[in-house]
Chain A
């Protein structure tokens, strides 16, 4: 119990120390104070994992909201799902803290950065530990806040601030749906505790509204996990420092939506239409993200769209009720995407903050560790066996095959696109000739040990992460699926998948062929993507992300901006100011007139006093006299 409390409290403590003592604390201490809490929390999580006896436990910390019959406690729940999330968050979080010590070493906001990172870890832990939707919502909003703070970390540049606001506002739209979903749940069941809600649903209660509730909850997940149509904030979120992109916008926060859907699988199972909808949204997002990723030239943008696309895969899996497969992908994705982002960060660091892959090339010999680890991440995300991404993505695909053949076909195409754009980035970055300036070339260096160490660890996990849920045909025992089984619907079960069947063969082709194609185009023929002005035709449309940002701008942002201008110029200036300032002017004018009566002649004053008293007396005694 006490060690459970420590897990979220330690990062909060780290936040408090670093936040209050910034900027007086020296960098060296700030980094250590920032890194120790997640590390200790990781140790405690492992201890929790090893001592877990399979029974869901709820610890009530305090009575929180108590109104009439409604009682919402502040309580934590320990079960299979939350323990796995704890491990991922604190584990990947620790590595990224270590990495940040190297990556941010030249930044003046060093201590502040660690304070924000710790605060993020704290809220993320609250999110996964909460035993009811209300506590989850605290974490949900908290991580949104930290995301905002960290995207806009370098807030001296206006466009970064805009990106932060965009992320925050888009998340608000999703959160509104989520909040309505929570209200509906409380209205329907009189509580927001997971266990009570799920057991009463299993007993057959409240089946009328569940579809609506599931829909509202999913809208929340759409915002947080960057699904169509609320995904455009995630690529812009790359304005933040790279460790932030790795931790928040790839490994943990964006998977909160998937966590929530898995957590509420009982609700979603009761509304198959919503699940179907989730599947298609996931598919559309996965394809859109992959297609846009094909032509991006900013290394972080490619990874961002790849994240959007992979999140789409996870939702596809959820749509096919393959919860454990989706969660498997959440975990492996956390490893290899964090790895890729950190690798990209290492490259950007070496390239003196250059992010354009057209200006890179030939970094293989200069940065051997980054090269090897990035390669492993690329192989993992492309789905090439036996790396982690192969097993997790394939499990989703296999479920899709049994669920809906059309979705499966499209998902295979998306998978092929993923493989292509990832190898494109990889080859353009590390092979060929160096295309940057001489100044950048002279500065090229391998990153310090604090940055390469997390890369190596994550590379090992990206390679071997598949082991945690190794399917039976490969000699594994599906550990993760069995582990999660108690909290998932029992109907899940795939039966035997033979290694050479269609559903296993096609993903392999989809993983290998585009990789070779990319190697041929960018490695052997050495084609470098053309500069921005030369792009034309359909490629330009894709390069500009299908102009979806511009579309949103015209449809939503511009009208609201125009309304703001209208209210500012017309309502505020002409109506409210006229009224308020008018009163002021009247008072000012009349007082300047009345001031003339103040002559300084005492006799006159006395006369006025007597006259006034007479008038008052006359009026107050009028009825009596007349």
Chain B
């Protein structure tokens, strides 16, 4: 029975880097192009998880648990962020019946 780090190491490091870079770029594109607030939110989650993946991979390759600890922190913070963010989005929707971020500049005045 192989341990999880060993299983992770069966895939070359470069693959992880490429995958997480791709995920991160998809996330950026999602944030920049989509106007639906929930989609933007999902894109941000995507970016966070790209980073998490990379951290876990590096952690295994370098046998350093610090990376995995970071991952846990990021997950916890992301969960909190989602809770707050979704609450805000729900409130916005109740007020303006829309979650289009283009309409949010109304708040300015």
Residues of A within 8 A of B (CB): 598-603, 606-607, 610
* Contact in complex: B35, A603 (CB < 8 Å): yes
* Contact in complex: B108, A603 (CB < 8 Å): no
* Contact in complex: B32, A600 (CB < 8 Å): no
A621 to chain B, nearest CB (A): 14
Distance A610 CA – B40 CA, assembled complex (angstroms): 13
* Contact in complex: A606, B102 (CB < 8 Å): no
Q: Is the interface of A mostly helix, strand, loop or mixed?
A: helix
* Contact in complex: B108, A606 (CB < 8 Å): no
* Contact in complex: B101, A600 (CB < 8 Å): no
* Contact in complex: B32, A602 (CB < 8 Å): no
Residues of B within 8 A of A (CB): 28, 31-32, 35, 40, 101-102, 104-109
Given known A607-B32, A610-B31, A610-B32, contact A602–B102 (CB-CB < 8 A)? yes
Note all chain A residues with C-beta closer than 8 A to B104: 600-602
* Extra 12 A-B pairs, beta carbons < 8 Å, given A602-B102, A606-B32: A598-B108, A599-B105, A600-B104, A600-B105, A600-B107, A600-B109, A601-B102, A602-B101, A602-B105, A603-B35, A603-B102, A610-B32
Instruction: Find the A residue at minimum CB distance from B108.
Output: A600
A602 to chain B, nearest CB (A): 4
Distance A602 CA – B88 CA, assembled complex (angstroms): 14
Note all chain B residues with C-beta closer than 8 A to A600: 104-109
Instruction: Find the B residue at minimum CB distance from A603.
Output: B101
Note all chain B residues with C-beta closer than 8 A to A601: 102, 104-105
Note all chain B residues with C-beta closer than 8 A to A607: 32
The 10 closest A-B pairs by CB, nearest first: A600-B105, A600-B108, A602-B101, A602-B104, A601-B105, A606-B31, A610-B28, A607-B32, A603-B101, A599-B105
Distance A342 CA – B104 CA, assembled complex (angstroms): 85
Note all chain B residues with C-beta closer than 8 A to A599: 105, 108
Note all chain A residues with C-beta closer than 8 A to B107: 600
Distance A610 CA – B31 CA, assembled complex (angstroms): 9
Note all chain A residues with C-beta closer than 8 A to B28: 610
B35 to chain A, nearest CB (A): 7
Distance A598 CA – B104 CA, assembled complex (angstroms): 12
Distance A610 CA – B102 CA, assembled complex (angstroms): 17
B32 to chain A, nearest CB (A): 6
B40 to chain A, nearest CB (A): 7
* Contact in complex: A606, B105 (CB < 8 Å): no
Distance A319 CA – B107 CA, assembled complex (angstroms): 89
Instruction: Find the A residue at minimum CB distance from B103.
Output: A602
* Contact in complex: B106, A603 (CB < 8 Å): no
A355 to chain B, nearest CB (A): 73
Distance A603 CA – B100 CA, assembled complex (angstroms): 10
* Contact in complex: A606, B106 (CB < 8 Å): no
Note all chain B residues with C-beta closer than 8 A to A610: 28, 31-32
CB<8 Å pairs between A and B, sample of 15: A598-B108, A599-B108, A600-B104, A600-B105, A600-B108, A600-B109, A601-B104, A602-B104, A602-B105, A603-B32, A603-B101, A603-B102, A606-B32, A610-B28, A610-B32
Distance A602 CA – B96 CA, assembled complex (angstroms): 15
Distance A405 CA – B35 CA, assembled complex (angstroms): 111
A8 to chain B, nearest CB (A): 67
Distance A600 CA – B35 CA, assembled complex (angstroms): 14
Distance A402 CA – B81 CA, assembled complex (angstroms): 101
Distance A606 CA – B105 CA, assembled complex (angstroms): 13
Distance A602 CA – B106 CA, assembled complex (angstroms): 11
Instruction: Find the A residue at minimum CB distance from B100.
Output: A602
Note all chain A residues with C-beta closer than 8 A to B108: 598-600
Instruction: Find the B residue at minimum CB distance from A611.
Output: B32
Distance A123 CA – B4 CA, assembled complex (angstroms): 85
Note all chain A residues with C-beta closer than 8 A to B40: 606
Instruction: Find the A residue at minimum CB distance from B29.
Output: A610
Distance A610 CA – B32 CA, assembled complex (angstroms): 8
Note all chain A residues with C-beta closer than 8 A to B101: 602-603
Note all chain A residues with C-beta closer than 8 A to B109: 600
Note all chain A residues with C-beta closer than 8 A to B106: 600
Distance A606 CA – B27 CA, assembled complex (angstroms): 12
Distance A571 CA – B77 CA, assembled complex (angstroms): 54
B54 to chain A, nearest CB (A): 14
Instruction: Find the B residue at minimum CB distance from A602.
Output: B101
Distance A606 CA – B104 CA, assembled complex (angstroms): 13
Distance A184 CA – B27 CA, assembled complex (angstroms): 79
Instruction: Find the A residue at minimum CB distance from B35.
Output: A603
Instruction: Find the A residue at minimum CB distance from B31.
Output: A606
Distance A601 CA – B28 CA, assembled complex (angstroms): 17
A599 to chain B, nearest CB (A): 6
Distance A602 CA – B108 CA, assembled complex (angstroms): 11
Instruction: Find the A residue at minimum CB distance from B34.
Output: A603
A11 to chain B, nearest CB (A): 68
Distance A600 CA – B40 CA, assembled complex (angstroms): 16
Note all chain A residues with C-beta closer than 8 A to B105: 599-602
Note all chain B residues with C-beta closer than 8 A to A603: 32, 35, 101-102
Instruction: Find the B residue at minimum CB distance from A598.
Output: B108
A349 to chain B, nearest CB (A): 74
Distance A606 CA – B29 CA, assembled complex (angstroms): 11
Instruction: Find the A residue at minimum CB distance from B107.
Output: A600
Note all chain B residues with C-beta closer than 8 A to A598: 108
Distance A364 CA – B68 CA, assembled complex (angstroms): 107
B20 to chain A, nearest CB (A): 15
Distance A603 CA – B105 CA, assembled complex (angstroms): 10
Indicate the member of A598, A600, A603, A607 with the most B CB atoms within 10 Å. A603
Instruction: Find the A residue at minimum CB distance from B109.
Output: A600
Distance A606 CA – B102 CA, assembled complex (angstroms): 12
Instruction: Find the A residue at minimum CB distance from B105.
Output: A600
Instruction: Find the B residue at minimum CB distance from A604.
Output: B105
Instruction: Find the B residue at minimum CB distance from A613.
Output: B28
A615 to chain B, nearest CB (A): 14
Instruction: Find the B residue at minimum CB distance from A601.
Output: B105
Instruction: Find the B residue at minimum CB distance from A614.
Output: B28
Indicate the member of B28, B31, B105, B106 with the most A CB atoms within 10 Å. B105
Distance A297 CA – B19 CA, assembled complex (angstroms): 106
A26 to chain B, nearest CB (A): 65
Distance A152 CA – B65 CA, assembled complex (angstroms): 77
Instruction: Find the A residue at minimum CB distance from B33.
Output: A603
Distance A109 CA – B76 CA, assembled complex (angstroms): 69
Distance A598 CA – B108 CA, assembled complex (angstroms): 9
